[in-house]
Amino acid sequence: MLIEARQITKAFGGFTAVDRASLAVEPGEILGLIGPNGAGKSTLFNCLTGDLRPTSGCVLFEGRDVTRLAPEERARLGLARTFQVPQTFEHMTVLENVMIGAFLRTSRTSEASARARAVIDTVGLGPLADTPAHSLGTPGRKRLEIARALATRPKALLLDEAMAGLTPAEIARAIALIRDIHASGITLVIVEHVMEVVLSLASRVVVLHQGREIARGTPAEVTRDPVVIEAYLGKRAARAANRDAPESTGRSP
Amino acid sequence: MRALGVAVGSVAILAYPLVFSTPFQQRLGALVLLYAIGASAWNIVGGYAGQVSIGHAVFFGCGAYGALVSYQHLGLAPIAGLPIGVAVAILIAAVIGVPTLRLSGHYFSMATIAVAELVRLVVANTEWLGGAQGLSGPPVPRTLLDLSFTSALPYYYLFVAVLSAIIGLTWWIERSRIGYYLRAIRDSERAARSLGAAAPRYKLYAFILSAALTAVAGALYAVMFGFVDPESGLGILISVKMVIMAALGGAGLLLGPLVGAVILVPLEELSNSLLGGAGAGLTFVAYGAIVMAIARFQPGGILQRVLRLRRKARPAPAVPVAQP
Amino acid sequence: MSLTLVQVIAGGLLLGAVYALFSSGLTLIWGMMNVVNFAHGDFVMLGMYVAFVVWKLMGAGPAAAVPVAALLLATLGVVCYFSLIRHVMKGPMLAQILGTFGLALLLRYSAFWYFGANFQTLPDTLVGGTLRFGSLRIESSRLLAGIVALMVTAGLHLLLTRTSLGSRMLAVSEDAAAAELMGIRPQRMQATAWALAAGATGIAGALIATFFYISPTVGETLAIVAFVTVALGGFGSVPGALIAGLLIGVIESVSAYAIGAVYKDIVVYALFVAVLWLRPEGLMGRTR
């Protein structure tokens, strides 16, 4: 297992955001993490990346306990992430943004610059390398987020709602990019709202609801699961889906 | 084009005290350079790393007191006390920086004020540090090493050398990994850390370097003026001047502090001579207003505004219409 | 425990209550808007001078000075919010910190220029006399200050936790965007916070003026006292500021008694460094 989360609980005062959730991510797979709003996906995600310390439970990366490691140390081990709201380095160019990622693996500016350029080309931002990052629109920034993370040569890339705010055409392009990244051998964990993305990319899916895991399996299995449908749409929809069960096409709720 | 500007600027700086050669003008020039040294030192942590220290006087005082304590109690030439001042400055920077640079920037800024005041009170109440009276340097120069000159001219060129070294160091840092990391941390510390930049550590490095260089400025001050007391070596006004010169000229820009010093030092001399003692209060009212104006309207300082205007004047590079 | 020590502690608690009062304003703003007001100490200084001017013009004591100071400072707070804070909040940290720091300089040296460097005092007769509790003797001015400060701080806490205004302000501090969707106007709530915080400093200043030296530079020290109190109490927590304020008042006065008045400030500042090293999240366990 590449990444493992065991019995992660995260409480904020009296409110428990994540309740004994566990995950196992095999090398080379794409794991989807979904659930309705407030399900605790982001919280669990941030426990994996090190931005939050779980109240209890542990996170392992390549068998090693990283629960107490800071985000920068996890990055060094090969665990990279993007942010839901792109945290672009506004006052730097696109190239310089990506160089920050490249600097993890080299201390020489010329080498970091060359590697950054290569990554920028692979994500399709090549012509914009020397433009100020603040001039990019949302799809460009999201792509930049990914490029930056890729420049750190990660073993696993965790994407936090990378599709939020994109048009269907942009989503299709992003999916293609993610497939390319996956093909290059990087393991992916995707937190997503947009169902079609998860269904088309993930090999396995974990569903969270109110901090607890309620289902796991393949995308098809999970979307047919009445417990999942109920979580998203309420009891009525679940009953309706049950009635239609034989004809169910496994389309997203 | 840029190289030409640098060449012209360098010649102008080197020639200044020969062209403007009255004692007053030479002294003014030396003062501008001394403040530029202090402000450039502040710029490393305040401008580049984005950690706003408003108690930097404590490091200045370390250098000044280190020099004059070495003279008073060890009989050494004041400049020989520089390593002591730097060492104490680094220690204090670690005491402030290690706990606070892990937290949000406010804790850091608050701690710099508190520690600066703490040290000032301790020094003012410690006899062998001169107490409220302060310490003096050698009344007559004993050797050349005492660096005690009657004319401001040698100081001027000494300060040119030191300032050039600091600007050179800053220029080198800008282009190295730590420089890139500091800029990234300033823009988004979260993102920088997620990419592997150990933010607390780099901020601490910047702070320690800044503290050491500020101590150098303090030692140079002690050497030139031959006197320091809690107000002139550790007072809040020193912190204010360092910050305002760097911020006015352009925090985070290589030559910002120098620009700020060139503007403010002559202005302050002018207002002092026009308004006299009563003016002292008003000068700092003006400083407060300037600082607020910078914060409100142009946090990047004058140089940044100039750079932006130059960029607008140049035609924008062709950007592909279809964004990915 | 000797009687003198008990008296010292009592005096410390009373002054500490005033520390708690103005520090709770600082912690409120910090918790709500992630802005630290570096001019906070100088707000208190202005409150002190308001009391001085009120006495000079009308011969009146705290009964008049406190409400006047509260009102004037609250207005100043709102003006600061709209003209400065609102803008620098959106900018880099440098702009934020320089903004309030510049304001501190402006206020401090304006007072310096207008009132002169020498300190003023209000006459002892304004809130005169010493009260006796058994063998304990406490100056009425300090007792009044401490009790009023305690009441106002408690009132502020109740306002924040028990009223709808308070819950609206809390909503804005948790998530301004979400609060806006619920029909709350973040800017209005933030301006209210500034009015409350600044008003509190006005009250605190007017109270202390009855027994403290009034000088333009008093804000420097009080600002650091506020920082220690907020750090020790835990940022954003008014109850924390209350406990911490009382604690610091006692530590300060006991230090003055034990090792001399000159060193009491040093003890408090050193305490700040100790808190940062050992427990930056403070007593109430909250840190950014």
- At residue B323, the pLDDT reads 45
- At residue C59, the pLDDT reads 87
pLDDT band at residue A166 using 50, 70 and 90 as cut-offs: confident
Got the DSSP string for B36-96? HHHHHHHHIIIIIS----S-THHHHHHHHHHHHHHHHHH---GGGGHHHHHHHHHHHHHHH
Tens of pLDDT, residues C200-223: 999 999 999 999 899 999 999 999
Touching subunits of B (3+ CB pairs, under 8 Å) are: A, C
pLDDT band at residue B321 using 50, 70 and 90 as cut-offs: very low
- At residue B279, the pLDDT reads 61
Rounded Cα gap, residues C96 and B316, in angstroms: 31
Average pLDDT of chain A, as a whole number: 87
Query: In this structure, what token pair is assigned to residue B95?
Result: 């005491």
CB of B91 less than 8 A from some CB of C: no
Tens of pLDDT, residues B195-215: 999 999 999 999 999 999 999
CB of B196 less than 8 A from some CB of A: yes
Contact A49 B324 (CB under 8 A): no
pLDDT band at residue A248 using 50, 70 and 90 as cut-offs: very low
Rounded Cα gap, residues B38 and B33, in angstroms: 9
- At residue B322, the pLDDT reads 45
| Residue B314 clears pLDDT 70, i.e. is over it | no
Single-letter amino acid, residue C193: A
Residue that wins the pLDDT comparison between B297 and B282: B297
Considering only CA atoms, which of B218, B223, B217, B189 is closest in space to residue B203? B189
B136 CB-near residues (< 8 Å, 6+ apart): B68, B72, B226, B227
**Residue B9 distance to chain C (closest CA, Å):** 29
Mean pLDDT of B26-46: 95
Mean pLDDT of C132-147: 88
Tens of pLDDT, residues B227-257: 999 999 999 999 999 999 999 999 999 999 9
Contact B177 A112 (CB under 8 A): yes
Which of A103, A150, A167 best probes binding to B when mutated, by most B CB atoms within 10 angstroms? A103
**Residue C61 distance to chain B (closest CA, Å):** 29
CB of B183 less than 8 A from some CB of A: yes
| Residue B324 clears pLDDT 60, i.e. is over it | no
CB of B190 less than 8 A from some CB of A: yes
| Residue B226 clears pLDDT 60, i.e. is over it | yes
- Phi, psi for residue A59 in degrees, rounded to 5: -120, 130
Give the closest of B176, B180, B188 to A87, CB-based. Answer: B188
- In the block, which residue shows the tokens 């400065």? C84
Contact C266 B122 (CB under 8 A): yes
Contact B194 A71 (CB under 8 A): yes
- At residue A250, the pLDDT reads 44
Residue that wins the pLDDT comparison between B177 and A245: B177
CB of B315 less than 8 A from some CB of A: no
- At residue C287, the pLDDT reads 59
- Residue A99: list chain B partners with CB under 8 A: 180
